[in-house]
Amino acid sequence: MINKVAISVKAYHTRTGEQHTEMADGAATLRHRPHGVLAVFGPYNFPGHLPNGHIVPALLAGNTVIFKPSELTPWSGEAVVKLWEQAGLPPGVLNLVQGGRETGAGTECPERY
């Protein structure tokens, strides 16, 4: 999984930061900013590898994450979060919720950005 982190770090640096564009009648500046809280739903197959493909970029971009692993792989989900905590991730940045479909539905946000 460490390779997935390295790929995400490289992609983050390539795609973010500030981009300035001069235009005929002015200039444009594009700045990336965090969205806030994001939900990541883990599948039962590859329960550690696939969620980290979404968790890592979300954290790199400054977001916090609610992680709901598959109800078939609760221990894998718990291990993912514990490993992030052991790596030094502050409490409350990656949050674990366990359960089935109803739990996942409870993380929905009715408004989009």
User: CA 109, CA 38: separation in Å to the nearest integer?
Assistant: 10
- Break the chain into its structural domains and give their ranges: 2-105
Output 16 or 36, whichever has higher pLDDT: 36
Q: What is the pLDDT of residues 1-16, one digit of tens each?
A: 667 778 878 877 777 7
Q: Which of 69, 71, 72, 64 is nearest to 49 (CA)?
A: 69
Q: Taking 70 as the threshold, does the pLDDT of residue 109 lie above it?
A: no
User: CA 41, CA 35: separation in Å to the nearest integer?
Assistant: 17
Question: What's domain 2-105's superfamily in CATH?
Answer: Aldehyde Dehydrogenase; Chain A, domain 1 (3.40.605.10)
Output 86 or 6, whichever has higher pLDDT: 86
pLDDT value of position 112:
58
Q: Taking 90 as the threshold, does the pLDDT of residue 30 lie above it?
A: no
This prediction has a pTM of 0.77
